[in-house]
Structure 1
């Protein structure tokens, strides 16, 4: 069932995303019919999931089909990013407890992009990889767009805190892995990225920024902000969203972690299905959706709204 938007969200969805609530059910059914005809594709057909995909592509059916195909193709061809930690296993929850990636609650007033907080130096690089952070985010985003229409309509912002990051963390971010992480996070997920904000940036990170800049659009580059303090951050992020550990007035990091652990347990049956989805490339009738998954292939410029 497709949820009805609030008048304010509906206005934004119409003017910015071309969403027509009278047409949306027909678009969703069209996608279900299309998925059923793809012999290689094992994909979700939940209404809200498909609506989130439509919003992420501004209701262009052809773009949605390409995104859906890419999303599940990457599940199969890049498991080192999408299935490195399986959401139904204890290793996933144990890594989630470190607080390397949490999606923060909505702002208490007004409509704002949801904030994804990445704490890049909070894991042991001898035990885990930067790809594990992407894997955690990959599954949390599914829950986010299923439950929060404002996230799929208004979009998201990413805040990356590099406190605790060492050279051992940085060397994990090789060009091949970065390409795949960017493809998964920005080219296949149903998200409108409204900006990325970076705190406690260490020396040496410039090399990674240069590598990533080769894969993203000019708009994304312009929206990449490096802040010297949280005061600068609060010019872009509501203070009531950020945890008190960052000078905000929102829930603590520990409270946010507990919330998402509970959510993952609540969505256990969803995740059990999720682990079985993907593509069977031996049954694909046409070419791959793009060559993003190839180490030698070139990446499309990513769409950042």
Structure 2
């Protein structure tokens, strides 16, 4: 928290408040972060959501690849949200590049099931964006969506409109993955994409074990929440922070 705040004590306190307020306001996400849960195991077994070994440049953000290929019944979108935030937590604890330089997301929708479109409700999209932009003390340095189907055009426009100005400008959407190598060099892409930045299959197995090893940590971390009754000034709520009623 201190490093990502550029050593500002006040900003660090604000980010700590945001992080634990997020856990408090979203119990449906953070009270059940169990890597051994059937839905998360189904996601981990596919193994296409992985941080890549080489960063975006020598001293750049950590690249996180999400290749989808999940069954929307076994792995609902809420599970994808949970898994992505679990990866964030682990990177915060272990990876200096993530803390110092942020993350760069590459989302490949070639194997994306359009059944997920029915699950992308305003509530879950708002919750996910709140976690990424406000809850976690990590900087989103870029987001590249490849093979985006036209059926998601409206959803992408809504997401882009909801993102903060600087982050919104860092979102790039393409119909085909031919643009991927224009933004990212081969050294930054995994073997399956013609690069040299690790194998998705091998990285998926590594991250499955890593996430499972954090099971006790996830359970313990969910216990630490804010007491809004003790907050000076107005209490934080889902309505005030996310613009939605309830949690």
* Superposed CA offset, 1:243-283 (max 9, x none): 22222222221111111112123334423322322234455
How far does residue 91 in structure 1 lie from its aligned partner after superposition? 4.3
* Superposed CA offset, 1:31-54 (max 9, x none): xxxxxxxxxxxxxxxxxxxxxx22
CA distance in 2, matches of 1:195, 1:90: 31
TM-score by length of 1: 0.71
1:237 to 176, 184, 191: 184
1:75 to 16, 20, 23: 23
Mapping of 1:277-288 within 5 angstroms? 277-284=224-231, 286-288=233-235
Distance verdict in 2 for CA 1:100–1:129, change over 3 Å: farther
Q: Could you list the runs of 5+ residues in structure 1 that have no partner in the other structure? A: 1-52, 298-305
More helix by share: 2
Preserved contact between residue 56 and residue 62 of structure 2 (Cα < 8 Å): no
Which residue number in structure 2 is paired with residue 95 of structure 1? 43
Which residue number in structure 2 is paired with residue 274 of structure 1? 221
CA distance in 2, matches of 1:118, 1:224: 15
SS at match of 2:131: helix
Preserved contact between residue 142 and residue 170 of structure 2 (Cα < 8 Å): yes
How far does residue 136 in structure 1 lie from its aligned partner after superposition? 0.8
Distance verdict in 2 for CA 1:108–1:172, change over 3 Å: closer
Work out which of the two has the higher radius of gyration on C-alpha atoms and give 1 or 2.
1
Mapping of 1:39-118 within 5 angstroms? 53-87=1-35, 89=37, 91-107=39-55, 110-118=58-66
CA distance in 2, matches of 1:83, 1:98: 24
Preserved contact between residue 70 and residue 289 of structure 1 (Cα < 8 Å): no
Which residue number in structure 2 is paired with residue 179 of structure 1? 126
* Larger relative contact order (Cα-Cα within 8 Å, sequence gap ≥ 6): 2
Distance verdict in 2 for CA 1:87–1:166, change over 3 Å: closer
CA distance in 2, matches of 1:144, 1:281: 28
Distance verdict in 2 for CA 1:64–1:215, change over 3 Å: farther
SS at match of 1:86: coil
Preserved contact between residue 84 and residue 132 of structure 1 (Cα < 8 Å): no
TM-score by length of 2: 0.86
SS at match of 1:225: strand
How far does residue 183 in structure 1 lie from its aligned partner after superposition? 0.4
Preserved contact between residue 196 and residue 223 of structure 1 (Cα < 8 Å): yes
Which residue number in structure 1 is paired with residue 153 of structure 2? 206
Which residue number in structure 2 is paired with residue 217 of structure 1? 164
SS at match of 1:55: coil
2:117 to 159, 170, 190: 170
Preserved contact between residue 39 and residue 74 of structure 2 (Cα < 8 Å): no
What is the CA RMSD across the aligned residues, in angstroms?
A: 2.6
Preserved contact between residue 239 and residue 248 of structure 1 (Cα < 8 Å): yes
Distance verdict in 2 for CA 1:90–1:284, change over 3 Å: farther
The size of the alignment, in residue pairs, is: 244
* Superposed CA offset, 1:26-74 (max 9, x none): xxxxxxxxxxxxxxxxxxxxxxxxxxx2233333333332222222222
Distance verdict in 2 for CA 1:254–1:267, change over 3 Å: same
* Superposed CA offset, 1:73-110 (max 9, x none): 22122123334542354543332222352111124972
